[in-house]
Amino acid sequence: MKLGVFVSDINLTVDTLDRLKADKLGLILVQNGVYHATSKVNGKSSSLLDKTPNLYVLSEDVTIRGLKDTDVDSRVKVVNYSDVVDLMFNDYDQIAWL
């Protein structure tokens, strides 16, 4: 199964993701979840970014928080709403929201 997961909470931990079973896991960072892609704590990036190579962040949610696309970790692809729709319909069999 190919699972796309919307992450909207900065407090989400990898423990939650470890319980999900998928052949392909994609994380789509939205709302306050964008801080996983833009912030560092004690010089370290969010551990969520190590869970999968399929990482996306919604550009509009980055901008609305006063950040820039250039603030996004290089492992994360910046996408717009249209790209998210394409991901949902073309890349993932199931979608979850955490």
pLDDT beyond 80 at 39: yes
| Model confidence band, residue 11 (pLDDT cutoffs 50, 70, 90) | confident
- Fold adopted by 2-10+22-97: Hypothetical Protein Ychn; Chain: A, (3.40.1260)
Phi, psi of 12 (to 5 degrees): -65, 135
Q: What integer is the mean pLDDT of 5-14?
A: 88
pLDDT beyond 80 at 38: yes
- Res 61: pLDDT: 97
This prediction's pTM: 0.92
User: In the structure, how many helices (H) and strands (E) does the chain have?
Assistant: 4, 7
Copy the structure tokens of residue 48.
């969520």
Element (H, E) at 97: strand 94-97
Q: Where are the domains of the chain?
A: 2-10+22-97
